[in-house]
Amino acid sequence: MERVEELSVHEYAAMRRRGEAHELVDVRTPAELALARLDGGRLLDDELGEELGAMPRETTLVFLCHHGVRSHAAARAFAARGFARVYNLTGGIDRWSREVDPSVPRY
Could you report the per-residue pLDDT of 30-84, keeping only the tens digit for each? 999 999 999 999 999 999 999 999 999 999 999 999 999 999 999 999 999 999 9
| Strands of the chain, DSSP E | 5-7, 23-26, 42-43, 60-64, 85-89
For position 73, what pLDDT does the model report?
96
Nearest to 92 by CA among 47, 38, 44, 35: 38
Confidence of residue 90 (pLDDT cuts 50, 70, 90): very high
Among residues 9, 27, 36, 65, which one is catalytic? 65
Average pLDDT for residues 88-100, to the nearest whole number? 98
Nearest to 74 by CA among 11, 22, 26: 26
Q: Give the domain ranges of the chain.
A: 5-99
Note the CATH architecture for domain 5-99.
3-Layer(aba) Sandwich (3.40)
Asked about 65 being catalytic, the answer comes back as yes
